[in-house]
A and B are shown apart, each in its own frame.
Chain A
Amino acid sequence: MNPPISKNSEVIDLTSRLRRTTPLGERRSTEDAGDLLARVARGDETAFTSFYDLIVERVHGVVLSVLRDPAQSEEVTQEVMVELWRTAPRFDAARGNALTWSITIAHRRAVDRVRSEQSHRTRDDREARLTGTAPAPDTGTEVINQLERQRVRAALAELTPPQRESIELAFFAGHSHAEVAALLGLPLGTVKTRIRDGLIRLRDRLELQP
């Protein structure tokens, strides 16, 4: 059984408050992704550079998780980061925070790439992709706070194995729910329920502000 995560306000706030590491000798600064994005929306390229440093590991991580291929992942990550710059003026803070917005776009673009390419792939390639699962995490990031990472890992560990499996295939591997059902040999309704229930459990566990 996993130890409960301490529910102090620092932990709860971590998702939207990303700590940025700076070289030795410089003062550490905590910049809020939302504040940076507000400046980016006004055309501030310096703010975008900081915003890039703050979120690119997550954006790239999600894209790589879905696409698997490093070269393609870099390509799509570049497209996503430029799209974030371009559409920042239309970001509506009332609808969600900067991280959610960024990852939503990243995941969507990665899945778009997979779905459009699947029609061009050979049968063998397609099957190879279908048997894949999410790549192993923990590839030595600089920015992501270890505490945040542990918190998410603990939340994922609290799902039932079927829930976690379905969410991993749908989100981390970018499969459609029909594909997930085919991979697991399950009815669509079962997959749908597992994903919904898993998400609700994660949502409660992570206590996020949308």
Chain B
Amino acid sequence: MSDEPTDPTPLSASGDLDAFAGLYALDALDGDELEHFETLLATDSELQAEVDSYRATAAALSDHVAAPPSAALRERVLAEVAATRQDAPLVVSQRRDPHGRASTERIERARPRSFATMLIAAALVLLAGVGGFILRNAGTTDTSQLAALLALPDTTVVELTDPAAATNVGRVVVNATTGELVVVSSSLEAVDDDRTYELWRLDETGATSAGTFRPTSGNVEFATKLALDGASGVAITNEPASGSDQPTTPILATAEF
């Protein structure tokens, strides 16, 4: 095999992540690599921008293979579209009610108000890998700790789920040796000033507090450490700002180890 000519300088300092961004944009990642990359992507807006630019490049390549389908397809598509309801747009606006409390209002068609309907489609980013073209506050977070954790061999990523709707609301990255744990989510809503989210360590005896956290610009990347021995998983509830000794509201999300 002949030597390749020298290639242009990679754009980002962390050349490896940049290469993964290219693979991801071409849908060439799968398995563990895909999951790890998507977890990083959920809170790294620079990485997302890199992926977006590679996707634009790939999309332009479609010119090269463009081919018309049958005329019959057009009729089938238009007929199906006429019978297909569109998804509701996702717009988050912060409003204050007469009592001065902040509430998050969604503009959408009538739907039952469960936790699931309050999802910002982080599921698109975290699961489907389509790129999640959604309205989402761009947060800047330091992903180096998370990236370092993901690089360790005994680190696993588990789903964070809304038990009521059985939908994904984020991920929990946990290292079996050190007990380091990071909750990653883009779909936990802002909490009122007098409230907070609290993480609970779950085991046979019940729930123990593992810390409190509040979303920043719509993103959560909450790092903590747990004694993993005997722990069955974690849960998240909405508590008063000072935290609680035991959960006082229904569980919003859980993850199993």
Contacts and interface: CB of A to CB of B under 8 A. Distances in A.
Interface in A132-184: 134-135, 137, 139-144, 148-149, 151-153, 156, 160, 162-163, 167, 170-172, 174-178, 180
B214 to A, nearest CB: 25
Contacts of B227: none
A204 to B, nearest CB: 7
Contacts of A56: 68-69, 73-74, 77
Contact of B29 (A92, A176, A204): A176
B65 A61 contact: yes
A115 to B, nearest CB: 7
Most buried by A among B19, B23, B62, B135: B62
A200 B68 contact: no
Interface string B40-74: 00000000010011111111111111111110011
A102 B28 CA distance: 18
Interface in A80-119: 81-82, 85-92, 94-97, 99-108, 111, 115
A126 interface: no
Interface stretch (A1-9, A24-32, A41-49): A41-49
B64 A137 contact: yes
B8 A87 contact: no
Given A62-B65, A152-B64, A210 B25 contact: no
A54 B63 CA distance: 12
Nearest to A89: B89
Contacts of A52: 74, 77-78
B49 A210 contact: yes
Contact of A152 (B19, B63, B67): B63
Contacts of A134: 65
Given A87-B87, A108-B130, A196-B18, A103 B59 contact: yes
B90 A90 contact: yes
A123 B73 CA distance: 32
Label chain A's interface by main secondary structure. Answer: helix
A193 interface: yes
B147 interface: no
Contacts of B166: none
Nearest to A43: B86
B65 A89 contact: no
Interface in B1-24: 4-5, 7-8, 10-11, 15, 18-23
A149 B63 contact: yes
A199 B68 contact: no
A177 B23 contact: yes
Contacts of B56: 96-97, 100, 203, 208-210
A22 interface: no
A197 B67 CA distance: 28
A58 interface: yes
A82 B80 contact: yes
Interface in A114-131: 115
Contacts of A64: 65, 67
